[in-house]
Chain A
């Protein structure tokens, strides 16, 4: 009797259910937490994601499954209502909208086209993924990594290929954190020293009225043309209207801080918890990681090359380095443009010019996701 009782107790611990895959995933989770703490790579996301990976790979933990009564377990509830119901990515966009100054984009609207060109990587990778044997909806979810926009990647993958959510989200956020490492060699390779030294005219001041009109105009245009992008675009622009209108400071602060922080916690832990050893340790996530890098490289290239193309016709030349900021990753990609520019000419200030394509990239990626949905659903 006692032996049988002990036997039952032992089998109810996680220890006897452990296998090497769990340990590999713990190590991956610890690497994420290490990168966040030691290197400060996207710490707000990598800490909860790393912890999510760790706890979901502790055997028998009632966190990500369904219990005997058919009810979802704790993190599964966050995942289901937050990601599967598409609540979290639009709320993150609300916060991003409240944090973003679209002034540089309004002052120089042609930078919107650089943001569009930087979606090149999305479509090249989409093709690459199909070539590697992924189905079309899966390929779209992998391609969107090239937009360097975590919430959009999650939004699209949750709709088209939910089984790839962990891999695409991790790939997007990992490469976003590595933008300062990935982009500069490509930028230097595709530009001459002379091009990197181009100085751009100071941006005109943008009036408050223009900044208030922008979210209304942008929502109208984009949601009319690509209705499927509305959950992201509408929330992004609502957040921006909070910021610019100047009469809802409480809502603006909440969207920028408390709300954004709360949903980031739920997002991080839910994404991490999708990475179970049983499903994650297969060739597919490795391919997705490789394709994510291809996506970033081609997105950087697309923005740069269009800026160079513009220079064939423009009297006032554009520094092509700002084109690479068309990958979203706000504001890191713009900072990279500034840094690489200053290596060629220490007195050249490209940051504000690069913010235009940078925020255009956010709009471009959300539009690309909406178009994928419109075509594939």
Chain B
């Protein structure tokens, strides 16, 4: 596959503080790639380096096969959508979208056509003569996207573009954005701190933490097979069960977690007695009144409290030895199945256990 954007050995500091450490990244043609991570992880810095607004300390930035380290932002042919949209307040919608074309001295007839096409793409036909302040947040966002697309850039860079929208609009725009990207087929790099967003939109996902890439892969890969504790706790609602390896047979592993024996699957080598964490996602566990099928893990406990979320319920289950597990139950009927104080069994299939080598101390800062 063609690589449209490539970063090799990129490092960056703000004054004495390092913000990116030796980053290697490839973005393939036509893919929707998300840079996901907590604030301060360096994702926006990375985007700005690709866009040319920051010069890295070390490393190369390659766009469309050529090294662009010394190329200023106005010659990189990247289209950027800013978090605040950055629409020019003194210009109409048409002039905003046409801006990139005007500075490239495109002919008037071509400009008119391309602007019209861009606005149609984002479903804002007919609004070209409006002033920016007359538009709603969602409309402004679309103008920002149209403006970036109108110049037919090599890659679309989006810096948390949905974060200023209210929850409902956000969800709608997500679908819109995905449809749009598929339709145009443009390589897109999307920065966000919202994991749900990243999981929904991306072909591939890059999780970043403290200036490093923790893991890159498809959403399913990262969700089901996180390779680092950080990625594991960042996606979904994980429970961390700390213990040691008791038995190993092929890809089956049994971990001693306190008084419980928990079964999991794991491909790589593991020593007997090695400290591991078994990560159980709250969504992967189910609650039953009695222990179900034999193959499954089953831990008895009591419901400590419940949180009603409408479409789902969140339970906190206290096990015999004081360990607390979070379990999320989807409720199509809207009625929770269990109440506080009830005795239940938490069960899940071994394939849903995620094994991460390491002791409780080594992961202390990730697990509250």
- Co-complex (A, B): no
Residues of A within 8 A of B (CB): none
Residues of chain B whose beta carbon lies under 8 Å from any beta carbon of chain A: none
